[in-house]
Amino acid sequence: MFGNRLQRLVTQQRVGRQVLGSLKHMKPVRMVSTSSTLKQATPTETITPTSDSLGFESQPVKNEGRPIYLDMQATSPMDPRVLDAMLPYMTELYESNNLSLKGVARFYKNKKKHIITTQTEHKCVLDSCRVLQEEGFEVTYLPVQTNGLVDLKVLEAAIRPDTAIVSVMSVNNEIGVIQPIEQIGKLCRSKKVFFHTDAAQAVGKIPLDVNAMNIDLMSISGHKLYGPKGIGAIYVRRRPRVRLEAVQSGGGQERGIRSGTVPTPVVVGFGEACRIAAEEMKLIDCYDHERIERLANRLIDGITAQVEQVTRNGDDKATFPGCVNLSFAYVEGESLLMALKDIALSSGSACTSASLEPSYVLRALGADDEMAHSSIRFGIGRFTTEEEIDFVVQKVCQHVHKLREMSPLWEMFQDGIDIKSIQWSQH
Ligand SMILES: Cc1ncc(COP(=O)(O)O)c(C=O)c1O
């Protein structure tokens, strides 16, 4: 599905296994918490680390057909104490949206100076575009319709002879809408404009075919498809060839597109996550998708059966079911989130949730500030259970009722007053 790039990942996994294989000379006494096996130093005592003090038993070298590893300048095996510290986090970031946009725009800058994207893209796309604007590029931020979808006629009208690239995400991370990727790809190809899609929320969840959809560049994120954090991939089409200017300088790895040594363990994890996702999607009725859809309906039906004035944001049909964004009128989203402290939820994108500004995605759909402030995103995944959904339904209903009981606006609404018609006096 992802062509040659994914094949390269697989090759990297094989190389990685050889490098990691050298670690077998050292046998960890315990796999986890090796650090606890370290001898404690008294304040005046200096410890010279030995293989034993580091938590390994010295083993006679058994190569098992592998060469002795004497290439420490190329890469060094990870100290298990480092692994201990990393395991709970694994949170380094990799950003292929930056590379797609900046790379293509800068490579073709002498001929083309225009970029098209949408107002509802992820911040990393929007911020890359702002950087390019500062470098002299012109960017069109397309509006979306009230259902969150791009209007193809508006997109077509925005394409100019100097448009280098169109970037439209496959699945929106806040409201889950699925953009008409196939039609956008067709349009871009007919106009000879490169088409990039941020598929971080889509790969492994909805079917994507870079050839059938005329996708020239595609960004994938490992930790959105049940893989490790700190790894992603970029698909770059070979024919018709897409050229990129590297964003990162260095040893010229990945054909010069992305210098730097890739972190093998997370590459392996990412490859496995892709394999599992592809397998899941091959199953009849796509097991993940079907299950997630059932759970989403259970959540929506459960809440709307008990609570009135709830709206689902985004398109009715073209939406990934695992992303349920609901607005609870007359309820302040942040207060609801705080009340639901035993449930990990977000009022919008996890990346911008530190800000109390209303979601720019919901604003782009035409939601007013009150509506945007009263929204919660429920993200349902492969490991969510029915029991969890039932618990969430019960808690959400309980707290929405409680918060509304305290709201004068809710009381006015109950009394039949049209809140929007009120002329608030300003002192
Ligand atoms: C649509 C979308 N694009 C890009 C990203 C960024 O991905 P990463 O966390 O791998 O940098 C995210 C993360 O939330 C996302 O939802």
Cβ neighbours of 145 (radius 10 Å): 14
Nearest protein CA to atom 10 of ligand 1, as residue: 221
In degrees, to the nearest 5, what angle opens at C-alpha 317 toward C-alphas 313 and 319? Answer: 60
d(CA 201, CA 171): 6
Q: Which domain holds residue 156?
A: 96-279
Note whether residue 372 is domain-resident: yes
Nearest protein CA to atom 5 of ligand 1, as residue: 200
State residue 125's pLDDT score: 97
Residue matched to tokens 């893989």: 227
Which atom of ligand 1 lies nearest, measured to the CA of 223?
10
CATH number of the domain that residue 238 is part of: 3.40.640.10
Residues 312, 367 within the same domain: yes
Residues 126, 180 within the same domain: yes
Alpha helices for 191-286 (secondary structure H): 264-282
Number of domains in the chain: 3
Note whether residue 401 is domain-resident: yes
State the virtual CA torsion across 5, 135, 201, 255 in degrees, nearest 10.
Answer: 10
Note whether residue 400 is domain-resident: yes
Note whether residue 242 is domain-resident: yes
Residues 164, 139 within the same domain: yes
Structure tokens at 257: 């597109």
Residues 103, 190 within the same domain: yes
Give the contacts of 166 (CB within 8 A, at least 6 positions apart).
115, 116, 117, 155, 159, 184, 188, 193, 194, 195, 196
State residue 89's pLDDT score: 66
Note whether residue 309 is domain-resident: yes
State residue 134's pLDDT score: 97
Residue matched to tokens 């930790």: 223
221 in contact with ligand 1, CB cutoff 6 A: yes
Give residue 341 CA to ligand 1 midpoint distance, Å. 24
Pocket test of ligand 1: the residue of 125, 201, 360 to mutate, having most ligand atoms within 8 Å of its CB, is 201
351 in contact with ligand 1, CB cutoff 6 A: yes
228 in contact with ligand 1, CB cutoff 6 A: no
| CA dihedral over 256, 262, 264, 267, signed as positive or negative | negative
Specify the DSSP class assigned to residue 56.
E
pTM of the entire predicted model: 0.80
Which of 221, 249, 279 is where one domain is finished?
Answer: 279
325 neighbors 316 (Cβ within 8 angstroms)? no
Note whether residue 91 is domain-resident: no
CATH number of the domain that residue 406 is part of: 3.90.1150.10
Note whether residue 202 is domain-resident: yes
- 3-state SS, residue 89: coil
Give residue 57 CA to ligand 1 midpoint distance, Å. 42
Which of 62, 86, 110 is where one domain is finished?
Answer: 86
Residues 406, 263 within the same domain: no
Note whether residue 426 is domain-resident: no
d(CA 191, CA 327): 39
Measured in degrees and rounded to the nearest 5, phi and psi for residue 111 equal -105, -35
- Helix/strand/coil percent split, the chain, to 5: 40, 10, 50
Residues 105, 71 within the same domain: no
Which atom of ligand 1 lies nearest, measured to the CA of 173?
16
State residue 45's pLDDT score: 41
Give residue 131 CA to ligand 1 midpoint distance, Å. 18
Which atom of ligand 1 lies nearest, measured to the CA of 351?
14
Nearest protein CA to atom 16 of ligand 1, as residue: 173
Pocket test of ligand 1: the residue of 101, 173, 205, 218 to mutate, having most ligand atoms within 8 Å of its CB, is 173
**CA nearest to 80, candidates 25, 41, 16, 42:** 25
168 in contact with ligand 1, CB cutoff 6 A: no
Tens of pLDDT, residue by residue, the chain (427 residues): 344 443 343 333 333 333 333 333 333 323 333 333 333 334 434 344 444 444 444 455 555 667 777 778 777 777 778 777 777 665 444 468 999 999 999 999 999 999 999 999 999 999 999 999 999 999 999 999 999 999 999 999 999 999 999 999 999 999 999 999 999 999 999 999 999 999 999 999 999 999 999 999 999 999 899 888 888 999 999 999 999 999 888 888 888 888 888 888 889 889 999 998 988 887 666 678 889 999 999 999 999 999 999 999 999 999 999 999 999 999 999 899 999 988 989 876 444 555 667 899 999 999 988 888 999 999 999 989 999 999 999 999 999 999 999 998 999 999 998 877 777 776 6
The distance of Cα 276 from the centroid of its chain, to the nearest Å, equals: 18
175 in contact with ligand 1, CB cutoff 6 A: no
State residue 99's pLDDT score: 92
159 in contact with ligand 1, CB cutoff 6 A: no
Measured in degrees and rounded to the nearest 5, phi and psi for residue 287 equal -50, -50
Residues 248, 354 within the same domain: no
Which atom of ligand 1 lies nearest, measured to the CA of 221?
10
**HEC string of 153-181?**
HHHHHHCCCCEEEEECCCECCCCCEECCH
State residue 74's pLDDT score: 73
Give residue 69 CA to ligand 1 midpoint distance, Å. 37
Residues 70, 110 within the same domain: no
Using DSSP bridges, classify how beta strands 27-28 and 194-198 pair: parallel, antiparallel or unpaired: unpaired
> Helix axis angle, 96-107 relative to 123-134, nearest 10°?
30
- How far apart, in Å, do the first and last CA atoms of the chain sit? 62
Q: Is 351 a catalytic residue?
A: yes
Residues 226, 266 within the same domain: yes
Which of 66, 86, 106 is where one domain is finished?
Answer: 86
Give residue 162 CA to ligand 1 midpoint distance, Å. 28
Give residue 200 CA to ligand 1 midpoint distance, Å. 6
84 in contact with ligand 1, CB cutoff 6 A: no
Give residue 167 CA to ligand 1 midpoint distance, Å. 14
Residues 329, 261 within the same domain: no
Residues 252, 106 within the same domain: yes
d(CA 168, CA 18): 39
Give residue 230 CA to ligand 1 midpoint distance, Å. 11
403 in contact with ligand 1, CB cutoff 6 A: no
Give the contacts of 215 (CB within 8 A, at least 6 positions apart).
181, 185, 195, 196, 197, 208, 235, 237
State residue 426's pLDDT score: 66
Which atom of ligand 1 lies nearest, measured to the CA of 222?
10
Q: Which residue among the candidates 124, 274, 351, 397 is catalytic per the annotation?
A: 351
Residue matched to tokens 């592809």: 278
**CA nearest to 219, candidates 194, 244, 202:** 202
Give residue 30 CA to ligand 1 midpoint distance, Å. 35
Pocket test of ligand 1: the residue of 98, 122, 171 to mutate, having most ligand atoms within 8 Å of its CB, is 122
Residues 103, 67 within the same domain: no
232 in contact with ligand 1, CB cutoff 6 A: yes
